[in-house]
Structure 1
Amino acid sequence: MENLKLIKIHQKFDNKKLNNIPEFICKELKRIQLDRKIMPGMKVGITVGSRGIDNLQLIIKSIIYEIKKRKGIPFIVTSMGSHGGATAEGQKEILTNYGITEESMGVPIKASMEVVKLGRLENGLPVYFDKIAYNADGIIVVNRVKVHTAFKAEIESGLHKMLSVGLGNHEGAKLVHYLGVKGIQDYMVEFAEVILKKAPILAGFAILENAYDETYKIVGAKTEEFYQVEKELLKECKQILPQLPVKNIDILIIQEMGKNISGTGMDTNIIGGIKGFKKGEYEPPQIKKILVLDLTPETHGNALGVGMAHMITKRLYEKIDLKATNMNTITTTFLDRARIPMAFDTDKEAIEVGLKTIWNLPGTKPRIIIIKNTLKLDQMYVTEPIWEEIKSEKNITSSRDWEEINFDNLGNLLTRI
């Protein structure tokens, strides 16, 4: 690893974002005539899931304000399937990490794993729905629209997933995933359609983020508009999705992974379906080795997706909550995603092993990229072969200063984003 040098680069993406969120939500609420549905004394639940969404507090607070303005009684209902160890307490704790508390939001936060059965699909699978949400006078569904990590379709991750998986709690999430990718791709929308007919859903707010994970667009949707709104936003999402700058990488070093970053800890739309989980038209990068250095605090030890890495650090390994990881992974049915890779005492040791196992001829300069996580791709470190390939790209600039890869006395990587 002697004389291994990297340069910090910046990828420029469309940075258009939404400002004046409270004012915008007020306008959308009126546009979809939600203001006419909220009556005095009406108990209205607002869904909040486990993903880290930009401006989440402000978005939820703005909806709460509009409900209170019409003398409704708002509350937050946790909507995250089997996350948080499939316990009410665990799910509330996840929201606390996002600053979503009863004190900060000024409304009760209600969480339970209890469900009611709303019916069955034609294939016989029962449709479960959160009991607290079902007993509300109305529910406003809030979620980010994003590409899914396992399949490609008109509807992937968004309002429909929040209904069928998030508000299905552990039982519902388990059933949606019961038949693997086929089950999610083919039946998730069917589950949601039953819920839309039989549960007190008032409307939805679909969020789209730009490549910098900033609020790009918020679209209100009447219940009958859920499919079309989400379909169109997903098309737009795919157009602005950030990517790694090259298709061939020897070692991808990811500083952190976690459920707040992606449902799979690391987004397979960025790193590719390394273990064959993905299908569809997207051409993933070819990555010889993936090294992950740490878990995010927000993931609470849930390391689902760690099985897609080839190497991890002892630091990450010791933070894994096996119960939470196993519960979530079993629910998804993709057991490979929880396999524990080789764990090394230090970052330096892991990188040295990576360099020894990438099958390059002696003297070949390695193609290495260091990123913070799979959400933050506007800045990264790259080695010389990658820089030579991308330096003429108009959307890429560099710091112009080459740095030798640097570690502290304990072997922790200091060359970080």
Structure 2
Amino acid sequence: MDANSARSSLAVPEESIRKACGDTPLPELGLIEQVWETDPIAREAIGERAADAFGSLPLDDVPEGGEIALGVGSRGIANLSRIVAGVVAEAQDLGYEPFVFPAMGSHGGATGEGQREMLAELGVTESAIGCEIRSSMEVTEVGRTADRDVPVVADANAVAADAIVPINRVKPHTDFDGTVESGLSKMLVIGMGKQRGAKIAHDWAVDWSLRNMIPEITEQLLAELPVVGGVAILEDQRDDTTLIEGVPPEGFLDREAELLETAYDIMPTLPFSELDVLVLDRQGKDISGQGMDTNVIGRRPFAIQEPEPDLPDIKRIYTRGLTGTTHGNAMGMGSADFVHANLLEEIEMPTTLINALTASTTRGVRLPPAVETDRAGLVAAMSTIGIVDPTTVRVLRAADTMHLHRLYASTALVEEARDRDDLRVLEEPSPIRFEAGDFATPSPHETGHDD
């Protein structure tokens, strides 16, 4: 049996699901949207704002014509190529020689070419940004931590440069809570550490905790390497760029902590704290490190020394597939209760397992039961939560955990939305339309309603 046949055999036919579950009535779904007040940076101003952020950093000690290593990660950051291009242009205008290096740990299959391809998927190519990309998994040991004697490693190309500047979005992390979470510091410690550094960090996190490790190693990297600061990015609830700021080495951790507080205030979340079923059209590393943002779904597959969030409380999660940009990396699929057969076809297990081993997150890559159709997925989910009434069951369908502006919602949720100022009803509930057992309606963020 070849690999494709083996994968196909894992998907349970709809007929079998419906025979086992009986006549499970499905709810009608309407369309709602969250009402957010946002203040995004105009797209045409992104490059200039990025240039200003880089230009604000202390560059006096960088020699004229010196090389500046710009760290760029694997996340799907809005306007990423524009931001990087703006930084590159400003560095060149100031007389420096910038280059980009992938700062993404083990992503891209832990190969230099794979990481270059991930950058390209995000629009970060040499032609788009105007400078060289140096992609290698080679690292240099730059020191060891004082108390635990843990090796501290960094991308060899970056270490050889005259200056280092990470470019990253600051946001809540999926695996831990701390003063700094996902952002500039984590990129320096784990992203710039490549596969070896990421593995070291996650191994030690079992006893040390990332919340304590990342600040300590960040301070060591700031002291031992020519990190002249970072370019921090914040995104609003609509996944638009709302801030681009240069963060200098002095007060680096304190300023990132302040930015994280703002990021928490403006991050998109589900508008309901209790759900019976959540349907996600896709997951992927470009959406979240865990494929599905654990802060959104309330489930943490890593959770070493870290409690799971109290809310939201979601009884069943059904995931329909992977993003194209994730390159088959299905990290986090273990948070779902059921998945569509499409995910089996899209998954690249070597890439997924390398990521899981590096992050010590084996729970996150456990394969949930797979079903052949969306109708089977809904029936399976609803038939395992007790006796349900289609008029009162709480079902929500979202594009992914990053795009939560518009959502398909069951009748009970639509009725709640009518009484809330932060929600708007766009379409009244109607029977779910299927084609060959799969949803016939587009992903909610692709609906044609004007904002």
What band does the TM-score fall into relative to the shorter chain?
Answer: over 0.9
TM-score, normalised via structure 2 length: 0.88
Once the two structures are TM-superposed, the CA of residue 21 in structure 1 deviates from its matched residue by 2.3
Once the two structures are TM-superposed, the CA of residue 134 in structure 1 deviates from its matched residue by 0.3
Once the two structures are TM-superposed, the CA of residue 364 in structure 1 deviates from its matched residue by 6.4
Note the 1:170-249 alignment, pairs <5 A. 170-180=195-205, 182-249=208-275
SS at match of 2:265: helix
Choose 14-23 or 260-269, whichever is displaced more.
14-23
Q: Distance in 1 between matches of 2:142 and 2:120?
A: 30
SS at match of 1:177: helix
- Go from structure 1 to structure 2 and tell me whether the alpha carbon gap of 1:188 and 1:45 turns closer, same or farther (over 3 Å shift): same
- Go from structure 1 to structure 2 and tell me whether the alpha carbon gap of 1:132 and 1:402 turns closer, same or farther (over 3 Å shift): same
Q: Does 1:289 align with 2:316?
A: yes
Do 1:273 and 1:284's aligned partners in 2 also have CA atoms closer than 8 Å? no
Do 2:25 and 2:390's aligned partners in 1 also have CA atoms closer than 8 Å? no
Once the two structures are TM-superposed, the CA of residue 360 in structure 1 deviates from its matched residue by 2.4
Note the 1:18-417 alignment, pairs <5 A. 18-19=41-42, 20-34=45-59, 36-121=60-145, 122-180=147-205, 182-273=208-299, 277=303, 279=306, 282-361=309-388, 365-408=392-435, 410-415=436-441, 416-417=443-444
Do 2:57 and 2:248's aligned partners in 1 also have CA atoms closer than 8 Å? yes
Do 1:47 and 1:79's aligned partners in 2 also have CA atoms closer than 8 Å? yes
Q: Distance in 2 between matches of 1:413 and 1:251?
A: 16
Q: Distance in 2 between matches of 1:29 and 1:318?
A: 42
Once the two structures are TM-superposed, the CA of residue 38 in structure 1 deviates from its matched residue by 4.7
* Equivalent position amino acid for 1:296 in 2: T
- Go from structure 1 to structure 2 and tell me whether the alpha carbon gap of 1:57 and 1:292 turns closer, same or farther (over 3 Å shift): same
Once the two structures are TM-superposed, the CA of residue 103 in structure 1 deviates from its matched residue by 2.0
SS at match of 1:119: strand
The match for 2:4 is none
* Equivalent position amino acid for 1:261 in 2: I
Q: Distance in 2 between matches of 1:112 and 1:131?
A: 8
Do 2:280 and 2:318's aligned partners in 1 also have CA atoms closer than 8 Å? yes
Do 2:410 and 2:429's aligned partners in 1 also have CA atoms closer than 8 Å? no
| Number of aligned positions between the proteins | 415
* Equivalent position amino acid for 1:42 in 2: G
Cα RMSD after superposing both structures: 1.8
* Structure 2: segments with no counterpart, 5+ residues: 1-23, 445-451
Q: Distance in 2 between matches of 1:313 and 1:73?
A: 47
Q: Distance in 1 between matches of 2:324 and 2:131?
A: 25
Q: Distance in 2 between matches of 1:76 and 1:217?
A: 21
SS at match of 2:228: strand
Do 1:14 and 1:240's aligned partners in 2 also have CA atoms closer than 8 Å? no
Once the two structures are TM-superposed, the CA of residue 196 in structure 1 deviates from its matched residue by 1.1
Q: Distance in 1 between matches of 2:270 and 2:76?
A: 21
Choose 186-195 or 42-51, whichever is displaced more.
186-195
Do 2:105 and 2:191's aligned partners in 1 also have CA atoms closer than 8 Å? yes
Once the two structures are TM-superposed, the CA of residue 156 in structure 1 deviates from its matched residue by 0.6
- Go from structure 1 to structure 2 and tell me whether the alpha carbon gap of 1:340 and 1:281 turns closer, same or farther (over 3 Å shift): closer
Do 2:317 and 2:337's aligned partners in 1 also have CA atoms closer than 8 Å? yes
- Go from structure 1 to structure 2 and tell me whether the alpha carbon gap of 1:3 and 1:296 turns closer, same or farther (over 3 Å shift): closer
Q: Distance in 2 between matches of 1:361 and 1:297?
A: 35
- Go from structure 1 to structure 2 and tell me whether the alpha carbon gap of 1:228 and 1:275 turns closer, same or farther (over 3 Å shift): closer
Q: Distance in 2 between matches of 1:323 and 1:276?
A: 19
Once the two structures are TM-superposed, the CA of residue 120 in structure 1 deviates from its matched residue by 1.0
Percent sequence identity over matched residues?
35
Q: Distance in 1 between matches of 2:392 and 2:265?
A: 33
Do 2:302 and 2:361's aligned partners in 1 also have CA atoms closer than 8 Å? no
TM-score, normalised via structure 1 length: 0.95
Q: Distance in 2 between matches of 1:276 and 1:168?
A: 20
